[in-house]
Amino acid sequence: MTRYHVGGKVVHEVDLLKLRHWTWRLDIWPFAILYFIWLLAVVPNIDFSDAFIVLGGFAILHILVLLFTAWSVDFKCLVQFRKVNDIHSATSCKIIPSKFSGSKEIVLLHTRKPVVGSSASSTENANEIYFVFRKQCFNFSAEKNTFCKLPYPTKESFGYYLKSTGHGSETKVASATDKWGRNVFDYPQPTFQKLLKEQVMEPFFVFQVFCVGLWCLDEYWYYSLFTLGMLFLFESTMAKGRLKTLTELRRVRVDSQMLIVHRGGKWVKLSGTDLLPGDVVSIGRSGQNGEDKTVPADMLLLAGTAITNEAILTGESTPQWKVSVAGQSLEEKLSIKRDKNHILFGGTKILQHTPDKTFNLKAPDGGCIAVVLRTGFETSQGKLMRTILFSTERVTANSWESGLFILFLLFFAIIAAGYVLKKGLEDPTRSRYKLFLSCSLILTSVIPPELPMELSIAVNTSLIALARRGIFCTEPFRIPFAGKVDICCFDKTGTLTSDDMEFQGVVGLDDDGALQTDMSKLPVHTVQVLASCHALVFVENKLVGDPLEKAALKGINWIYTSDEKALPKKSGGQAVQIIQRHHFASHLKRMGVIVRIQDQFFAFVKGAPETIQDRLIDVPATYVKTYKKYTRQGSRVLALAYKTLPEMAVSEARSLDRDVVENGLTFAGFAVFNCPIRSDSATVLSELKGSSHDLVMITGDQALTACHVASQVHIITKPALILVRGNNSTDFQWVSPDETEITSYSEKEVEQLSDSRDLCIGGDCFEMLQRSEAVFNVIPYVKVFARVAPEQKELILNTLKTVGRMTLMCGDGTNDVGALKQAHVGIALLNAVLPTQTGEASSQTQPSKSENKAGKSTKPKSVLESSKSVVPANNTATTSNRHLTAAEKQRQKLQKMLDEMNEEGDGRSAPVVKLGDASMASPFTAKHASVAPTLDIIRQGRSTLVTTLQMFKILGLNCLATAYVLSVMNLDGVKLGDVQATISGVFTAAFFLFISHARPLQTLSAARPHPNIFCAYVFLSLTGQFAMHLFFLISSVNEASKYMPEECIEPDSEFHPNLVNTVSYMVNMMIQVATFAVNYMGHPFNQSISENRPFKYALFAAVGFFSVITSDLFRDLNDWLKLVPLPEVIRGKLMLWAMLMFVGCYGWERLLRSLFPGRMPARSRRQKQAAVSLDKKQL
């Protein structure tokens, strides 16, 4: 058998399979033989009723085998398929997904003719072999001898794209359609019946129905029907919730608008759903009705510029400027991560476009020219939809631990069942049928029917609570991770600090280093650089863009016009006309523009001081000293520079290479900006630090600025040291921000140094750490990472995960995507954006332009009923106060949405996550301009962990007690009545429901929840409490036996009320109430029992009910419950022993909680293990 290693983000490995002929399937021929043997050998030789029992056993075994083929993919492979080595003889394959990408699946292998011009078609006539897994196509590559994701033209050179003229013939169009398919989001709409069938085919549900059947055979009709009804109600609710989610997703379609496409050497009109990768299209904002046009696929801009709204994908409401690839190096390869400012993403809206009339292809409709890169589910919007679509399965917490916990309980059940079987076989008169039934009931009693329901409720309750606070989650399994988080990483700009930049002035033009705030005294070129070196743009007569650039323009008192011209507000100054922009790139840390002032061309550049320093002709003596002085104070400092360009034509100026434009510059000063820290950042981070979390800052800003801000928000609390290059370029040293303390760098001393100092390293030190393989010895001890590129942010998170940290990353949804995805808990902070729908038939969910960072406010369109984005009213109240009517309507809509969510929030089904709510950036999307959602998510994560832990303890104790009652006591004739079992089940269900709805406390505690079920605390707690329960139960039943007449009670006899049964039931009720009350985990994580009113009232009701039946106040009630009167002596003893049992269990539980508190895990050992394992790999 050949196993192909794919190693992708979705598919890890692939096994080849061939479907067996139906006669050779292991679920058919062995059973055919068994039935034949039964007919020939069993029926003639034994009594027919016994033969029928044997047939029933065969039938149950057959049904189990058939069910296991539905439950287990591996078992289905064994039964229905055989493994093969030759891919050409395989008919199917088993997909083993990557971690957290879902479960294994069997998918069909398909073949098709190779695409014309591909390597396969040129080398051989063999068909292409491929499979489709979760809407992604994987082709078999003979060259690599594995399956590879279907390639899209996304990694070619810019020269390749600029030469594109689209598909030249119908043959090529047909081949491309065969290869990539139509540009649609195509998935079938399941019916409620189909989804319910999937739910009831789940192993737990089938097992629960089997248990109900056993109870019915033992004549517990009321209890069985009550349990069955509860199960079907829960599963129906889950199916309805999934149906609603899938229905909402089906509403999102590729816009079927007509586009002008260049095919076969001419422009033709095509629908957006007919686009193919490689198509050259004309795209822009439609001019007919003024509607913003939706981009139907991911495409690269070849000519022209466009302004897009990407809120549907990233939640970022600031319009994004998209520029063509003209001017890029023709040999350079496209990188979608790096070159996103050249790419129009599918699902986004074009607000404005400017065509390029000089490009060789002229669009007849005056649109921008773009080449299609990806279509369908491979677009950015398609990827987000896949994330949402395939995360709609039932959500649980600690699923593998629940399996181990059941095995642990099963061990005790096997002992109990073995005891009953041994005793039963010793009695020749005992019914074998009843004996088999008793053993089956004991074994099944340890797997509580409520388990999957309670685990789902625990996670769904948290999902609903977060959704009400404007926080949406696409990967629910991460909620318990939030409770285990021990290190929180934060981006700085726009996350900890505000987006509202304040321009302070210009510095560095003279030797004294004084800040010049009077703009009239600045050199003319300095002002011109500030006025024109930016990416601001007009959209619907509103100036939008980076808040820093707007602050600079406002500070120098200039204006910017829609024809890309900067002018001073006061008359007399010269206008600056922008000719060409080289946009800011994170890997370059600079941007430049070519401008014309009268007839003279200039290059204006701004960027990071250390980047611009290497590009200056003459560096001032105080250059470094000056910018460091202001960065130490937490200011954002940008270096400004310019150079004069020779006379040339405008077309020549536009075609100048970027590196030529941005070299040989003259220094024009430092622009100093103040970036105020958000009002609640320090408070939130202080609470996180006080609740046993380590804090880290990861930013692209300068190290000194980052250290200053970090000290303001409690990330840095000790003297700081920054790792910098020494005089020799290969040497590194630790330097304090004021440069008064210098310590040589040694990899081995980092851990010791971190005890007395808070460490900071810059992005330029990462290469050194990777070269010297010191990553694991340094990164875990660093508090501030500065000047890091997006790829380095991913490396930091991966390193922290490798050394065993549970990581949280909080940043914006644009620059931090990689790090947010790598973290265990990634939180993208976005401004509140409400999804809306246009009135067209396309029903494409789109973001409204209700408000964005630049202050643009328009009247929102009608909100989709399906897109009930829950945004706190206090947030929206501040977003728009200019138009009272719009604001009032917005508030009414939000109130209506909140009411609807409150009606939906039944605690059973997770909230529907929609495009516009979710972000492609991270699993959690918070529509807040604040880091406060971090607290909410951790709070809910801890609450889910604690609730899950207490559920396992309670279920464990109940199951152990049940196993004892059904085994030892059942042999003595102790049974429960049908009504008694039903009442007990009602109380259990109510208790579980109410503890799962306990709200987390607002304040995070320094104590941490236990992250795992298997720990000394849980084991000792279960053992101690069960011993007390057992002692109480045995003592009470023995005491009752003294008052019973000397009569032999048959174990298999029908239920008859007697004193022992009555005492047994009452004691079981007491134990049940005590178990819930003692193991309820309130403070410091959740509400206490007194604060959780529904649970408190349920406990009081149970205690009251128990007191009433014990005291025999209502004889009719006791008769209905089949309870006999208790002698006075037993009544008093029961009450006393119950109190002693409760006090004993409560004291034992409190003692263990104080002896085994949740702690921050020891780190040094894990870090050393990670370093050792790395060394072994290299050897």
Three-class DSSP category at 136: strand
Q: Are 345 and 298 in contact (CB under 8 A)?
A: yes
φ/ψ (deg, to 5) at 280: -100, 125
| CA dihedral of 883, 887, 888, 894, whole degrees rounded to 10 | 170
CA atoms within 13 A on the CB side of 564: 15
For residue 102, what are the contacts with CB-CB under 8 A and spacing of at least 6?
134, 390, 393
Cα–Cα distances (Å) from 651 to 14, 358, 565, 595, 647, in that order, read 53, 9, 18, 13, 12
How many H helices and E strands in the chain?
39, 42
**Could you give the CA distance from residue 475 to residue 486 in angstroms, rounded to a whole number?**
20
User: Which stretches does DSSP call E strand in 71-112?
Assistant: 81-83, 92-97, 105-108, 110-112
What tokens appear for 189 in the block? 């709409």
User: Which stretches does DSSP call E strand in 921-1022?
Assistant: 924-926
Other Cβ atoms within 10 Å of 900 Cβ, number: 13
**Could you give the CA distance from residue 1085 to residue 483 in angstroms, rounded to a whole number?**
10
What DSSP element (H or E) covers 124? none
* DSSP secondary structure of 907-947: SSSPPPP-BTTB-SS-SEEE--SSSHHHHHHHHHHHHHHHH
Find the length of the chain: 1179
**Could you give the CA distance from residue 350 to residue 295 in angstroms, rounded to a whole number?**
7
Nearest to 692 by CA among 1163, 1014, 1150, 1165: 1163
Catalytic residue, candidates 491, 499, 812, 978: 491
CA atoms within 13 A on the CB side of 673: 29
Q: How far apart are the first and last CA of the chain?
A: 30
**Could you give the CA distance from residue 295 to residue 290 in angstroms, rounded to a whole number?**
15
Cα–Cα distances (Å) from 171 to 126, 527, 779, in that order, read 19, 57, 55
Other Cβ atoms within 10 Å of 337 Cβ, number: 11
Handedness of CA 737, 743, 744, 748 (dihedral sign): negative
Buried b (16+ CB within 10 A) or exposed e, 481-502: bbbbbbbbbbbbbbbbbbbebb
What DSSP element (H or E) covers 515? none
Three-class DSSP category at 785: strand
φ/ψ (deg, to 5) at 1033: -65, -50
DSSP character at residue 1006:
S
Other Cβ atoms within 10 Å of 428 Cβ, number: 5
φ/ψ (deg, to 5) at 614: -75, -10
- Residue 491 is a catalytic residue: yes
Type of residue at 699 = T
Place of tokens 């604690």: 946
3-state DSSP helix/strand/coil % of the chain, to nearest 5 = 45, 20, 35
Largest CA distance in the chain: 119
Q: Are 370 and 299 in contact (CB under 8 A)?
A: yes
Handedness of CA 491, 497, 500, 504 (dihedral sign): negative
The set of catalytic residues is: 491
